[in-house]
Structure formats: C-alpha cells, structure tokens
Structure 1
Amino acid sequence: MADDKYNTWMLKGSGSTENLQYVQQTSAKLGPDEVRVVMHAASLNYRDLVIAKGSLPMTQATPNTVPGSDGAGVVHSVGANVVELRPGDKVLPHMVQGVSDDFLPRMDAISGGLGQAVNGTLCEQGVYPAESIVRMPDNMNFAQAATLGCSGLTAWNALMGLRDRAVQAGDYVLVQGTGGVSIAALQFAKAAGATVVATTGKGANVARLTALGAAHVINYKTDADWGVTARKLTPEGRGFDHIVDVGGDATLGQSFAAIRTDGVVSLVGVLGTGANKVDAMTALWSVCVVRGVLLGSKNMFRDMVAFCEKHNVQPALDDETYSLADAQRAYQRLEKQQHFSKVVIKIQ
C-alpha cells in the first residue's frame, strides 16, 4: 500500500470551509511505531468547523493538514515495533498523541492534536502512532464508533471523569441541546440508570430526545427560566446531581439555578456567543463543583468503550450522511446547525 494513491481532504488555509481541498496523495512510509488505518467513517465536531475557519489563534491549523478530529477504521499494517495491534483490528484514534494513558489534555495539547497540527481522519487512510490507538466497541458499526473520539469522550469525561462522583443509578442529570456532546451525555447517563432532563430550542426535537431516554424536555426558547423549571422536576426540587453545560455564558446562569448543593457542573462548551458574562462567584452562592472539561484521557476512552459494550449504547446519528468527497456539505450542515447529534461522513 505504500505506493498506493488515496483520497483525502486538506486544510490549505484558514478563514472558511472553502479552504478545504479534496486531493490525492501517495501513501507515506510507515514508521516502526506507527499503524496504517483504512478509515471507514468520520464524524464532524464544532472543533472541526472552527479550525477550518481559523477565527482565533488557538484554532489556526498547520497548512496542508488533513482535517478531522475523530473517526473509525481498520488496521491495514503495523510498524516493526508494534505488537499490540494487528491488521484487521477495528480501531479509533485518540485526538492527542505522544501522551501518557492518564494525561488530561488542556487546550494547548488539543490544539496540537488531530485535524489541526497533525493529520486527522477525513481521509481514505491515515498513519497514526500506535500508542494513540484505542480498540473500537464491538457492538457498533463504523459510523456510530466514529462519534466517540471527540464529543463522545468529552461527554464521558463530564459524567464519569471524577471517579468518586461518576453518574450512577438514581442520579438526576441535565443536558442542553441536541449537539454531539449533549446527546452522548444523555445516552451515557440513561445507560447508567440516571434520570435525564434535556433542553432544546426546537419543538421537533422533543420526540427524538424522549425516544433516546429523556424523562422531560424543556424548550429554552419559550421558557427563559428553564433552569428553575428543570430544578422543579428533581425530587423535592433539590436540583441536579450533574449538569453538562455546553453554552458557557449563555447557559451557565441557568445551570447554577438548577444544580443541587454539592452537585457537579461540567463546562464543556462555549456555544453561547454574545451572552452576558456569568460571574464565577455564582458558584459560591450555589455551593457546587464547577469543572472544566476538554476531551479526556486514553484510559477514559477505553473505559467508555467498555461501558458502551456492556450497556449496548448505540450512538444517535444525524439523518443526513455524506460521502468523503462530499464532506464540505457536511461542514455546511454543521455550520447551519441543521443537524441532530453527529454528522457522519462514510468513507468506505
């Protein structure tokens, strides 16, 4: 395969998704500690969109880098030093390379990760360090598994990353919206036996959220005090044990209104732009734990895979799927927020 040609997307610059170019490459020589993976599917994340736009210094991509934060594929060949992986293994790459199994990425590590500083997953084949590869769940197809590496792992870390505070049966969990992290958190929490309340701004999503296990759904566009409303749905109005906050300043005030004493608010996103800043001292008045979450470790990734197999978690996908050659349309769907959960690109 080293002499084979393959198709791939490349980021030629920043500022727009129009800087994504579909090109043909020649297979690179495999290093002794690397594996070559034939990619079968990838999924898009908000991170991929902001990298293509490059609107902030931390979102600038190295020119001529293959985009894509996560994906799923099959090992084609392994380097001379690789013993833990074999051709035919179904695998997922972790976004951050060259780190220990328990390393929790900060923004600098993520900015040096797949699809930004090093080649990502929007390609027919990719070469990755063997140490960054995790086994794919055996209960999922490639499209489902391709959702786990970025948003799935972030949701897992938010709910299960604090081992002594991991979500368990009987807990109440609040998730926000219908993006990839929120839907993954809903599915993980439900599988763990928690009661989940979800929010949405679209009435059409209520039935889908209910079908995935949400006990209650609140429309945040018609209920400005949705945090207070949500709190009333918990036993004796005590508040939520866990809240996965994806909106930052746009949602954090309501999250503080909904959290219980000593509950955990996980900050995982900044989707709410133009909102008034929320004073960090609000956490003091709410007497809660506030935790910033960026991705998760490789060991968390492995724990998530085992959990998905044990509980047969089947990640929810968007109604629209795209071929590799049509990936720009997938970016457009994500940018217009027309999607539900994860936009998947089928490669093989």
Structure 2
Amino acid sequence: MALPKITRRWVLPSLDGPSSLKLESIELVPPGPNQIVVKIPLPLPYVPLSDGAGVVAAVGERVKNLRPGDKVFSVFKPAWRSGRQRREFGVSNLAGSDVQGILSEYVMLDEEYWTPVPRNLTFVEASTLTVAGVTAWNALYGLSDHQLRPGQSVLTEGTGGAMKTVKSDGLVTIVGFIAGLAEQQPSIVDMFFSMATFRSVHCGSLEHYSQMIAAIEQHDIKPHVDRIFGFEDVPAAYKYMSEQNFIGKICISVE
C-alpha cells in the first residue's frame, strides 16, 4: 500500500479544552525499523485520541508480527505485559506525555501499540476496546483468585453506558439518592472490618487484552456505539461528550 506524502491530524495547540482543537496537515515519513503505519479506514469510524482501529498500511524492517493489510486496534499500555500494574508501565501510555495520540488519518507507532481486531467485530466496534473494554475486563477478571462468577452481582458507580450493555436476561437493580447522600458515610474502619477486597483498576495488560479478545470472539460480544461524528466535526464530538447524555461510545469517522 503506497503512503501519501501528507496526512491530517487534530492537535491541541493550548490547554484551553476542546474549543482549541485545530486540524493540521503534516508530512508522512516512512516508518522506523520497529514502527508500523496504520491507515484509519474510510469511512469507518474510530474513537479519538488513544482508541482506534484500522488497517496496517506499511511496516518497518524489524516488525515481526504485523503485515500490511492486517486489521488492528490500539493498545493503551504496551509496557504492561502481565501481572500486577507498576508505576513505570504508565510512562509509555498511548496519547500520554511521551506518545502522540491517534486522531489522524495515518498513525505511526511502534508495533507493540497494536493488536489484532477480534474476528467478529467491525473497525468501529473494535475501536472501543482500547481503554474501556480492557478496563472492564480487568475489573471483572483481573484478580486470579477473585474472578467474577455467574450469579454474582456487580455494582457500577455512576452507571454510564453499563446499563445498556447488560445482557438481556441479566438483572438490574437501581439504587438512587433522591434526597442526596447522607452526611454520615462509611469510614476506613468500616471498610477494614468488612473484610472486603479493594483495588484500583486502570486499563489492562497485554495478557488482559488477549483474554478479552478470546472472550469477545467466543461469545460474540458487541460493544455499544452511541453516535458517530465526521472527521471535520471533532469539536462537536467533544461537546456532545461533555453534555454527558449518551450511552456507550462516541466515535469519529475519518473522511
């Protein structure tokens, strides 16, 4: 696949929020030895910044596992391969301080930032897995000795898109706070004597990605997409997200 000389991407020239987003054209150079270039397909959509899916357009000479034409989606923490998360794994986060995001027609990153798209998903569906998908998997199955089992209950704080994605024969119980929260809240001592297990969850490891992909293919799981915006309408997509009136994922179609 021949590469164009120029590609477009959205950038933040300042920290003033989505209103400062600017569309710019840049030169597209050949990939480095360990890099691959991914063409975000037209008119298929993807989620901006760290989440995206596309087709490998070109590869560097030392790329081992991916070839032009392969369908891939992005990996958020490639340094976290397995086991418990450590602080140093966050240094190379996709769309972090050291690595550019992927709100672009073509994206050039090391091979480790990409993994094959599940066979049963479209590009738009696969683009939703980079952070939200693997974080949910890690939350449910990340502790080998405390994995969720059929018949158990899951509490989702704030709900968000989780209500829409509950299996049709699942049971949902809504607990509301019509009069607001009580002044007396559980203390650290209460949590200590409850003998509960507490842990933070932030994305997932490469091992979690592999497990998630296998489960998605085996059970034909389909992520829910709320709305798709055009590539020229990125600021509108951010505005729609800020209104917090959606269920599922918001995607960007590269045009």
TM-score by length of 1: 0.65
Which residue of 185, 191, 196 maps to 1:288?
196
In structure 2, what is the equivalent of residue 133 of structure 1? 114
Distance in 2 between the 1:346 and 1:91 partners?
Answer: 16
Q: Which runs of 5+ in 1 are unaligned?
A: 45-67, 184-197, 199-207, 226-252, 254-274
Structure 2 residue 245 is matched with structure 1 residue 345: no
Task: Please report how far the alpha carbon of residue 3 of structure 1 lies from its aligned counterpart in structure 2 after TM superposition.
Answer: 4.7
Moved more, 209-218 or 158-167: 209-218
1:221-243 alpha-carbon deviations (Å, 9 max, x no partner): 43868xxxxxxxxxxxxxxxxxx
Provide the aligned C-alpha RMSD in A: 2.7
- Structure richer in strand, relative to its length: 1
In structure 2, what is the equivalent of residue 32 of structure 1? 33
- Structure richer in helix, relative to its length: 1
Structure 2 residue 30 is matched with structure 1 residue 42: no
Task: Please report how far the alpha carbon of residue 286 of structure 1 lies from its aligned counterpart in structure 2 after TM superposition.
Answer: 2.0
Distance in 2 between the 1:124 and 1:215 partners?
Answer: 41
Structure 2 residue 136 is matched with structure 1 residue 179: no
Structure 2 residue 212 is matched with structure 1 residue 309: no
Q: Which runs of 5+ in 2 are unaligned?
A: none
TM-score by length of 2: 0.87
Structure 2 residue 57 is matched with structure 1 residue 76: yes
Change (3 A) 1:76 1:278: farther
Q: 1:204-283 to 2 correspondence within 5 Å?
A: 208=164, 212-218=168-174, 220-222=176-178, 279-283=187-191
Distance in 2 between the 1:16 and 1:5 partners?
Answer: 26
- State the structure with bigger RCO (CA 8 A, min sep 6), 1 or 2: 2
Which residue of 85, 93, 106 maps to 2:74?
93
Change (3 A) 1:277 1:75: farther
In structure 2, what is the equivalent of residue 334 of structure 1? 241
In percent, how many aligned pairs have the same letter? 28
Task: Please report how far the alpha carbon of residue 178 of structure 1 lies from its aligned counterpart in structure 2 after TM superposition.
Answer: 4.0
Task: Please report how far the alpha carbon of residue 281 of structure 1 lies from its aligned counterpart in structure 2 after TM superposition.
Answer: 3.0
2:70 partner letter: D
In structure 2, what is the equivalent of residue 155 of structure 1? 136
Task: Please report how far the alpha carbon of residue 107 of structure 1 lies from its aligned counterpart in structure 2 after TM superposition.
Answer: 6.3
